[in-house]
């Protein structure tokens, strides 16, 4: 009898160990749990990032790229966000910024970043989507900071942004409209980063906003690839640029 009780105890012990192991396995493979944790830790660095963005509005607006001289005839204009972004978590360099810099490095272009005045965009993804949706519904024209460089120096202007709700972020329409005269007669080349919507008509919308410019074929890059597959993206950018016939 004693032996039977001991065997039963051993079986119960083994069973409880198996359940414990199974529990660990399912916790480890739960993306939701992991994402939640990531989002929580994101909050702390968002505040730090918000400070950085606010300061960056004080920076000079035109930056020579690594290969650019500051007096190139090609310019890359871009808008991009750090903080929490879809599928990539918290980033300290925006997806579009990464692609913009690749284009500048490959063409020797100068860079101009469109930065909002008094940067009010939230650093959490959900809140940012709400603010962006409201701006789109209001057909808003958010102001950007600083002086746009003298565009008469440039023949070719690459213009890129993240797709926001299937469209250019509204601040880019501010840029197009404020500079429509200076952009007339130029070659404009759109590019986007996105998470599934591709170019989202950036090219036709740019043509409508700047009817006196020539708009060439655009490039769409997944934001996640901009962060995590940079060699592939660099090669894609190179192919695209060489096909533009500049
Ligand atoms: C407000 C908002 C709206 C978005 N809307 C879309 C969309 O309509 N289609 C899409 O594919 N991706 C959408 N995304 C994902 C972004 O386009 C993508 O994460 C992009 O690479 C972010 O680039 P950035 O880091 O340069 O800002 C949206 C992201 C945000 C923040």
pTM of the model as a whole: 0.78
Cα separation of 5 and 8, whole Å? 5
Nearest CA to ligand 1 atom 17: 194
Give me 155's structure tokens. Answer: 């023949």
**Domains delineated in the chain:** 31-243 (3.40.50.360)
Ligand 1, atom 3, residue with closest C-alpha = 164
d(CA 132, CA 122): 10
| Closest atom of ligand 1 relative to the 165 alpha carbon | 8
Distance 82 CA to ligand 1 centre (A): 11
Q: Which atom of ligand 1 is nearest to the CA of 194?
A: 17
Alpha-carbon span 128 to 109, nearest angstrom: 30
Smallest Cα–Cα separation from 80: which of 193, 233, 206, 211? 193
Quote the ligand 1 centre to 97 CA distance (angstroms): 13
- Ligand 1: residue of 86, 116, 197, 221 to mutate (most ligand atoms within 8 A of CB) is 86
- C-beta 195 within 6 A of ligand 1: yes
Give the CA angle between residues 186, 191, 195 to the nearest 5°.
Answer: 165
DSSP of 42-102: HHHHHHHHHHHHHHHTTS-SEEE-SS--S--SEEEEE----EEETTTEEESS-HHHHHHHH
In order along its 246 residues, the chain shows pLDDT tens digits of 455 545 544 444 443 443 333 333 333 222 222 232 332 222 222 232 333 223 334 454 566 555 556 679 999 999 999 999 999 999 999 999 999 999 999 999 999 999 999 999 999 999 999 999 999 999 999 999 989 999 999 999 999 999 999 999 999 999 999 999 999 999 999 999 999 999 999 999 999 999 999 999 999 999 999 999 999 999 999 999 999 998
Residue 162 belongs to what H/E stretch?
strand 156-162
- For ligand 1, say whether the CB of 186 is within 6 Å of any of its atoms: no
């Amino acid at each position: 009898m004693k032996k039977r009780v001991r065997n039963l105890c051993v079986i119960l012990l083994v069973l409880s160990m198996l359940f414990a192991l199974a529990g660990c396995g399912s916790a480890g493979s739960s993306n939701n749990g992991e994402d939640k944790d990531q989002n929580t830790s994101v909050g702390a660095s968002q505040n730090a990032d918000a400070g950085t963005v606010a300061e960056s509005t004080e920076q000079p607006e035109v930056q020579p790229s690594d290969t650019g001289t500051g007096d190139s005839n090609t310019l890359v204009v871009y808008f991009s966000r750090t903080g929490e972004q879809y599928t990539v978590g918290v980033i300290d360099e925006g997806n579009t910024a990464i692609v913009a810099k690749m284009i500048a490095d490959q063409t020797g272009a100068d860079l101009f970043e469109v930065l909002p005045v008094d940067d009010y965009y939230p650093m959490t993804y959900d809140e940012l989507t709400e603010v962006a949706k409201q701006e789109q519904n209001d057909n808003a024209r958010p102001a950007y900071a600083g002086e746009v460089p003298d565009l008469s120096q440039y023949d070719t202007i690459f213009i890129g942004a993240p797709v926001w709700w299937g469209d250019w972020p509204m601040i880019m329409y501010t840029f197009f409209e404020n500079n429509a005269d200076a952009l007339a007669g130029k070659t404009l080349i759109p590019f986007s980063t996105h998470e599934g919507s591709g170019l989202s008509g950036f090219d036709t919308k740019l043509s409508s906003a700047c009817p006196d410019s020539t708009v060439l074929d655009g490039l769409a890059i997944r934001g996640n690839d901009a962060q995590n597959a940079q060699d592939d993206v660099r090669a894609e950018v190179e192919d695209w640029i060489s096909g533009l016939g500049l």
